[in-house]
Structure 1
Amino acid sequence: MTGNDQKPPGDPVRPELTRKRKLTSAGALIGLLLALFGFTLVVQLRSNDADSGLASARQEDLVRILSDLEARDQRLQQEINQLEESQRQLTSGVAGRQAAQAEADKRADELGLLSGTLPAHGPGLKISIDPAGQPIKASAILNAVQELRGAGGEVMELVGNNGVAVRLVASSYFVDADGGEIIVDGKQLSGPYTLWVIGVPATMQTALQIPGGVVASVSQAGGNVTMEQRSTVEVTAVRQSASLQYARPVS
């Protein structure tokens, strides 16, 4: 080979080499596709073999497989039952706490009404006691309060003609004052007096009208007692909560 036959540097690649490279790339791609197809075919065949394996399995094997499935189902059912029981306990716990809280709130309200620290409303009586120029003793008002309590009066308020209102509770006391007035729990009230009481109106009215009762005694002294049944009585006077220094509940 002479110097004229040598390929000059920088010449373009010959067309034959380009065609060979394209054929090689195409062959590799075809081979990859064939490999993927073969893998898919093998997986499908194995799946078919598994299905056909169950169909051709012995009766003892099928019984064992069925037993395993039943055991697994029982375990899952037990877990479901345990979760449902836990849910019921949690729900019951929440409901129990809510019921206990509601009962505590109700008890606190009742104690507030009895101790006079909360206002109240309900059916009851409006009782007007007019001395009609004759002083009414504190004992007459006390007798009226006791008769009302005996007839189921729950919450009471005594209002004097001077606008002073006193919430009556179990510890309330009544004392005669100068000028025909009375002192109730340290507050001085002048007549006529208005007594508001919450309870069964008819029962309390009957109790006050018994022979020798408050109505009779006030009438004999020249006074007058009128009663009016109300579907709603508002008791707005309240007392301050007492702070006990020595008494403690027995644990």
Structure 2
Amino acid sequence: MEYVRPAPGAALTPSEAPRLEDEETTRLDRPAPVADDLDGPTRELDAGGDALDRVTEKTGAADVREKEAEPPTKPPPWQRLSSAGALIAVLLALFGFTLVVQLRSNDGDQGLATARQEDLVRILSDLEARDSRLQSEISALETSQRQLTSGVAGRQAALAEAEKRADELGLLAGTKPGVGPGLVITLEKVKASAILNAVQELRGAGGEVMQIAGANGQTVRVVASSYFVDAEGGGIIADGARLTGPYLLSVIGQPQTMQTALQIPGGVVASVNSGGGSVTMEQRGTVEVTAVRKATTLQYARPAS
């Protein structure tokens, strides 16, 4: 049964007063409404107090909605590295590596930068002589090619070229004696390593045919397979023959170029002098290489067809 609330100002009967007090007590036990905003509808607080936690006297419902609508925090910049950034990093690494290599290469060229003017002139003269020799060889080869392809005279030119080539191979193999301009070099108080360095330097400077003679009268033709080792009790062993110093090294080639090659800074002459030995050189218009070797019979190698 529902109770009708009396109009304001109306007198209550003694039987209605307790009922009205019960109704007011019931309404007060319900949770109070909370306004979302000034114009919006009201809502009641839940039992856990969630709305009360979010809506306080200092923060209204609009502030709560703005906080809830805020986007999530962005990740730090290093976590948003794109493919373009990775490519730029790789290119920078490659550029740094190239710069380091270039700097090291420039450091390696400081030897010539600190050389004396006379040394630079000798090196330049050596290079010019090598260039002239190579140009002469190119011209000779081109002439031979034209003769071989000339038609009627091709057969005779081919025969002459074969004979010339056989003589050259004989000189290189040490089976034929040679004569021509060159150097006569005397080396004293040196070891086998110094002689080997001199032979290699002379070959690089255009030395074509050479021999080495010892004070004991032994002479050895120097070829591509020659070797030099120190002998017990002094002296050296060259291709199995024992030689005693001082040693006389005769070489056929362009004299000035070969002498310049031996005198470069840190070269053969400088190393021998620093080791207590001595090197003397004499340029000659005619140098004779008389020592020869027996032709080697090949057991396994055959010309390729």
The TM-score with structure 2 as length reference comes to: 0.50
Amino acid at match of 1:117: T
1:116 aligns with 2:170: no
- Distance in 2 (alpha carbons) for counterparts of 1:222 and 1:139: 14
Instruction: Specify the alignment match of 2:249 in structure 1.
Output: 195
User: What's the CA shift string for 1:72-97, capped at 9, x where partnerless?
Assistant: xxxxxxxxxxxxxxxxxxxx877332
Q: Does 1:204 align with 2:258?
A: yes
Paired residues, number = 156
Distance 1:94 1:102 in 2: 14
One-letter amino acid of the counterpart of residue 266, structure 2: G
Within the candidate set 198, 202, 205, 1:144 is matched to 198
Deviation at 1:156, TM superposition (A): 0.6
**Cα distance in 1 between the residues matched to 2:218 and 2:208:** 21
The equivalent residue for 1:100 is 158
Structure 1: runs of 5 or more not aligned: 1-91
Q: Which residue of 2 aligns with 1:172?
A: 226
Deviations 1:153-172 (A, max 9, x none): 00010001111100000110
Give the aligned CA root-mean-square deviation in angstroms.
1.2
Residues 47-96 of structure 1, C-alpha deviation per residue, up to 9 Å, x if partnerless? Answer: xxxxxxxxxxxxxxxxxxxxxxxxxxxxxxxxxxxxxxxxxxxxx87733
2:147 corresponds to: none
What SS is found at the alignment partner of 1:179?
A: coil
Q: Report the structure number with the largest CA radius of gyration.
A: 2
The structure 2 residue matched to 1:230, chosen from 251, 263, 284, is 284
Task: Report the AA paired with residue 171 of structure 2.
Answer: L
Task: Say which SS state the counterpart of residue 178 (structure 1) adopts.
Answer: coil
Paired with 2:152 and 2:185, the residues of 1 have a C-alpha distance of: 47
Instruction: Give CA-to-partner distance per residue, 1:20-45, whole Å, 9 cap, x none.
Output: xxxxxxxxxxxxxxxxxxxxxxxxxx
Query: Map of 1:4-83 to 2, 5 A cutoff?
Result: none
Query: Which 5+ residue runs of structure 2 have no aligned equivalent?
Result: 1-149
Q: For 1:127-138, list aligned pairs within 5 A.
A: 127-131=185-189, 136-138=190-192
- The separation in 2 between residues aligned to 1:159 and 1:104, in whole angstroms, is 32
Among 270, 280, 286, the alignment partner of 1:216 is 270
Find the aligned partners of 2:182 and 2:234 in 1 and give their Cα distance: 28
TM-score (structure 1 length as normaliser) = 0.60
The letter of the residue matching 1:168 is: V
> Quick one: which amino acid aligns to residue 170 of structure 2?
G
Whole-angstrom CA distance in 2 between matches of 1:123 and 1:247: 34
Is 1:184 aligned to 2:238, yes or no?
A: yes
